[in-house]
Amino acid sequence: MELMHRVLHTALGALSVFYALVKISLGYWKRRGILHEKPKFLWGNIKGVVGGKRHAQDALLDIYASYKGRAPFVGFYACLKPFILVLDLKLVHQIIFTDSGHFTSRGLYSNSDGEPLSANLLQLDGNKWRTLHAKSAEKMVEPSEPPEKALQKAMRCVNNFSCNAGPRCWRGGANDSVRTGNPRGNILK
């Protein structure tokens, strides 16, 4: 009987500590006085997303629509982890261009050696991100050409990439379209 009491007290104590830790974690934005979406216990604000019934974009869009115009940013939770959703475009611009050095780690998966497409500004961390951000920030500060011309350049770049990636994947060869600028470039072996 004494063993049963010890097991019961231990389990009750462990559940109490777990409950307290979850409540403390889900009170992050409230303790700081920041406007936030009220979280559900253990799931935060993404309950349907975790179960696969809802896409993350839909959950974020609901939060965005609920708080747009009320504050420059709003807090929310993904399970127990607090996140910020920035609602004001001027604040987004300031974060991207002025304060970007403080946001070098996003915690997203990136394996540039095995999966080159994961080596992008959203997924890279640390020095690789800083280098790529510096290169892209130069191009985004002020548009020096009309949007139509920029779109043409982007389309040409995508075309060249497609013409290069296709032969590599299918035949093991390469295309010199990036070097020559001709999307119908010669197939190299």
Q: Mind listing the pLDDT tens digit for each residue in 97-149?
A: 788 777 777 767 778 788 888 787 777 888 887 787 777 766 665 555 666 67
End residue of a domain, out of 55, 72, 87: 87
Query: Looking at the DSSP assignment, which residues form a beta bridge with residue 76?
Result: 83
Shared domain for 48 and 112, answered yes or no, is no
Shared domain for 133 and 152, answered yes or no, is no
Residue 41, token pair as written in the block: 């216990």
Domain membership of residue 43 as a residue range: 1-87
- DSSP SS3 for 187: strand
Shared domain for 13 and 75, answered yes or no, is yes
For the chain, the distance separating the N- and C-terminal CA atoms, rounded to the nearest angstrom, is 79
Shared domain for 34 and 92, answered yes or no, is no
Q: Mind listing the pLDDT tens digit for each residue in 69-99?
A: 898 999 988 888 888 889 988 888 888 778 8
State the Cα–Cα distance between residues 48 and 57, nearest whole angstrom.
11
Shared domain for 168 and 126, answered yes or no, is no
Shared domain for 13 and 62, answered yes or no, is yes
Looking at residue 74, its pLDDT comes to 92
Shared domain for 124 and 110, answered yes or no, is yes
**pLDDT above 90: residue 14:** yes
Shared domain for 83 and 94, answered yes or no, is no
Shared domain for 20 and 70, answered yes or no, is yes
User: What is the total count of domains within the chain?
Assistant: 3
